[in-house]
Amino acid sequence: MKFRVLPFVWLTFSGGGVIAAVFLPILVILLAFALPLGWVDPSHQHLEGVVESWFTRLVLFALMVPMLVHAAHRFRYTVYDGLQVKHKGLVAFACYGGAMALSLVAFYVLGTV
């Protein structure tokens, strides 16, 4: 059978889409509104405890990478369909490259927390 990369990218895109749909709304509400605005007040110590666990950091990394691939894949198609930027190779490189770069940043941040 022919080997193509796109099916695997699409699977990651789909997984990332499910993760984003299910995890992000509550995270935005909590981390962008409830905590900064003081609607709820978990202690810094508690949050540190949650974040420092290697298991939590591993799970977070495993959730973030597919979400980044999801964003890159969708945005790449938006750029050539919506904006009609026809340099397919360049757009793909910029989008997936961006996702890879952010994944490395995630690895660094989660690894050194």
Binding site for other proteins (CB under 8 A): 1-4, 6-8, 10-11, 14, 16-18, 20-37, 40, 42, 44, 46-48, 50-52, 60, 64, 67-68, 70-75, 77-78, 80-84, 98-99, 102, 105-106, 109-110, 112-113
- By beta-carbon proximity to other proteins, the closer residue of 52 and 93 is 52
CB of 58 to other proteins, least distance (A): 13
- Do the Cβ atoms of 99 and 69 come closer than 8 Å? yes
**Distance, CA of 47 to CA of 56 (rounded, Å):** 11
- By beta-carbon proximity to other proteins, the closer residue of 17 and 90 is 17
**Distance, CA of 111 to CA of 58 (rounded, Å):** 9
CB of 11 to other proteins, least distance (A): 5
DSSP letter assigned to residue 33 = I
The string of DSSP codes covering 42-56 is: --HHHHHHHHHSHHH
